[in-house]
């Protein structure tokens, strides 16, 4: 059985002492590819370095909305150069976060729109981060023709209506460890409704470890528990969930 972890942060300090062991466990659990996400210039460089070192790791690069306050023409040009690397498969995670508000809204909007244009210029899909800003993210994607690029709504937590709207526009819905949490009935109901044809799996490691690992550092090998929960909800074999979500990931990110 083969799985693809479409969203992890392997450059983070939580993996500083035992990354080799983490990666070995992921391979043992059938994780064929991992997309590691760079969220600022420093972590983007680290993500690309990891992708260069390991054939099964790919990178996505983007200035996270938390760091949008640092985004300017100079960082755009630097990002463009880094994003042109052959192992960069997406622009992201990019979007809006009006929950933490670590960057002013106008700076978040500027960075988001700029990076949609960069994705278009480079021909790469988008990985969307959205928190407490659904209508605003949707408006930007529409105004900037972002849906035409293809992409995925990372760590999806919206409702069925939003999921179906995203799917209609050609985006994938990414499911993470939250699906295993006891209070995630709304998300489980959504997963039951949407087709595997439009679903990706992610860990968001080192965050949001799934049950039964909740409270521990998350890592790509835990993706199996997410696949298992999705299979349970949809009354399908885990192998079927793994096969289809892997096909989806390889299609979207053009990885083999």
pLDDT (tens digit per residue) in 149-182 = 999 999 998 899 999 999 999 999 999 999 999 9
| CATH superfamily membership of 3-253 | Metal-dependent hydrolases (3.20.20.140)
Helix (H, G, I), strand (E, B), or coil: what is residue 121? Answer: helix
Contact 198, 167 (CB under 8 A): yes
pLDDT (tens digit per residue) in 80-99 = 999 999 999 999 999 999 99
pLDDT (tens digit per residue) in 26-81 = 999 999 999 999 999 999 999 999 999 999 999 999 999 999 999 999 999 999 99
pLDDT (tens digit per residue) in 116-145 = 999 999 999 999 999 999 999 999 999 999
What order of strands is seen across the sheet that includes strand 151-153? Answer: 3-8, 31-38, 57-61, 88-97, 126-131, 151-153, 171-175, 199-201
pLDDT, residue 56, reads: 98
pLDDT at 211 over 90: yes
pLDDT (tens digit per residue) in 218-254 = 999 999 999 999 999 999 999 999 999 999 999 999 9
pLDDT at 193 over 90: yes
**DSSP track, 139-178:** HHHHHTTGGGG-EEETT--S-HHHHHHHHHTTEEEEE-GG
pLDDT at 256 over 80: no
Helix (H, G, I), strand (E, B), or coil: what is residue 3? Answer: strand
Distance CA 203, CA 9 (A): 9
Residue environment code for 115-141, b if the CB has 16+ CB neighbours within 10 A, otherwise e:
bbbbbbeeebbbbbbbbebbebbbebb
């Amino acid at each position: 059985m083969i799985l693809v972890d479409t969203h992890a942060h392997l450059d983070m300090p939580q993996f500083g002492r035992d990354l080799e062991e983490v990666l070995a466990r992921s391979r043992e659990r059938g994780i064929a590819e991992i997309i590691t996400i760079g969220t600022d210039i420093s972590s983007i460089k680290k993500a690309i370095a990891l992708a260069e070192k390991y054939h099964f790791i790919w990178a996505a690069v983007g200035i996270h909305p938390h760091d949008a306050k640092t985004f300017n023409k100079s960082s755009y040009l630097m990002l463009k150069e880094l994003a042109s690397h052959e192992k960069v498969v997406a622009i992201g995670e990019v979007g809006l976060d009006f929950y933490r508000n670590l960057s002013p809204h106008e700076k978040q909007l500027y960075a988001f729109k700029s990076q949609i244009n960069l994705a278009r210029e480079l021909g790469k899909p988008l990985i969307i981060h959205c928190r407490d800003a659904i209508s605003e993210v949707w408006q930007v994607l529409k105004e900037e023709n972002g849906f035409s690029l293809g992409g995925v709504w990372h760590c999806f937590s919206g409702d069925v209506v939003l999921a179906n709207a995203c799917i209609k526009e050609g985006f994938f819905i990414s499911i993470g460890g939250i699906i295993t949490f006891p209070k995630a009935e709304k998300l489980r109901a959504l997963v039951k409704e949407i087709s595997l044809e439009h679903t990706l799996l992610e860990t968001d490691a080192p965050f949001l470890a799934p049950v039964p690992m909740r409270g521990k550092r998350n890592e790509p090998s835990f993706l199996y528990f997410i696949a298992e929960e999705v299979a349970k909800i949809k009354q399908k074999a885990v192998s079927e969930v793994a096969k289809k979500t892997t096909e989806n990931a390889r299609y979207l990110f053009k990885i083999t």
